Structure 1
Amino acid sequence: MKLRNIFMAIIAMAAIIPAVTSCSDSKSYAELLTDENHTVNHFLSLHRVVTEIPDDNKFEIGPDAPYYKMDSDGNVYMQVLDAGTDEKPETNDRVYFRYLRYNLFSYEVGSDTNTPSGNADNMSYTPVFFLLDNVTIQQSTQYGTGIQVPMHYLGYNAKVNLVVKSQVGATSEIADVIPYLYTISYFKSQI
């Protein structure tokens, strides 16, 4: 009798364990990356996209300018709103920036209900900075390497819209796999 009860308990556990463990609502990392790609592709489908960087770095400028694919993996797309000055930062130069960013999963093109985060709309917030191409300090990696890309092509005082996928986004958010649309203005250090 006891052997039968033990056997029945084992059978019941064997039936319950797969049912409990297969009821996961979370997505795999690969599924999250697929969702991110679909979201970015949808956003870009509503805009003009140029897949090559101009040889002379003469980008079209303005709110109707195309989004340029800035890397071979398609992790960064840039729309130039203002090319800035002729002075460009060099490696290890301190570049200050002000930004607004929008989560592309909830962003609606042309909507007034998009809610950004960032420091551009409130001048009481301290501006943030990075040292160009220096990933040894936290300030340069905190927002990811994607936001540094425009400074390789544009001058100080440039303003861009930037689509940044999670792989080159903020280090604290890489695992969340959230693409962002940034509006960023870059400034030279006055120090």
Structure 2
Amino acid sequence: MKMVNKYIINLLAVTACLFIASSCSNDVSYSDRLNAERHATNAFLANCKVENEIPKDSVFKVGHDAPYYRIDPDGNVYMQVINPGDRKNDAAKDAEPMYFRYTRYNLEDWYSNGNKLVIYESNETDMSSSPATFKYKDYSLPTSAAWGYGLQLPLNYLGAECEVNLIIKSQYGITSEIAYVIPFLYHVRYFHSSI
């Protein structure tokens, strides 16, 4: 009986080891996901003008052919300014509720599917849906923190009623999606009030 139990235990151990080894070889590591995110982001930016620094006078080139500015030191967020708003007379205030409409595109899908942008999620054109909201620079509220850090960064440099395209890597993106390690391209319009 002891011999049979020992045999069964050994058989189960070998089976478990084989199962673990085969499942490990099929899983993608976090490091692999970060590399895929970097490749997709770099491939997208390779087709754009890129400025690695914010203009010293904070006067951004604007329009759909404007460069993407790296707006955080680690390269997690890049911003193309479509409309800068009026920063001097209309800056967002700390803890002010800011509303926004957006469309976002999965850059990994773009990269793997022949460079075709497909809408991943949007509230931009459906006026029956509410605009999204956060309190500017107040990450203590779950509704603000849920959107991540990257979506608020443009308001550090532009007027409250601005329009931008943003590339946001996962670490600065929607907090519930960080583990998926997917970069997104956003088209965002910000507002003081709900529209």
Same topology, TM > 0.5:
yes
Which of the numbers 138, 141, 146 marks the counterpart of 1:142? 146
Aligned length: 189
Equivalent residues of 2:110, 2:116 under 8 A apart: no
1:186 alignment partner, SS class: strand
1:107 alignment partner, SS class: helix
Q: Which runs of 5+ in 1 are unaligned?
A: none
Higher helix share: 2
> 1:41: which partner in 2?
42
Shift of 1:121: 1.5
- Aligned residue identity for 1:143: W
> 1:99: which partner in 2?
102
- Aligned residue identity for 1:153: Y
Equivalent residues of 2:101, 2:131 under 8 A apart: yes
Q: TM (normalized to structure 1)?
A: 0.89
- Aligned residue identity for 2:173: G
After superposition, the C-alpha distances for 1:61-80 in whole angstroms (9 at most, x for unaligned) are: 11111111111111100011
Shift of 1:12: 3.3
CA distance 1:13–1:138, shift in 2 (3 Å): closer
Q: Which runs of 5+ in 2 are unaligned?
A: none
- Aligned residue identity for 1:99: Y
Shift of 1:32: 1.5
The CA distance in 1 between the partners of 2:161 and 2:16, in whole Å, is 59
> 2:155: which partner in 1?
151
1:23 alignment partner, SS class: helix
1:139 alignment partner, SS class: helix
CA distance 1:113–1:161, shift in 2 (3 Å): closer
Equivalent residues of 2:105, 2:117 under 8 A apart: no
- Say whether 1:160 aligns with 2:161: no
CA distance 1:6–1:184, shift in 2 (3 Å): same
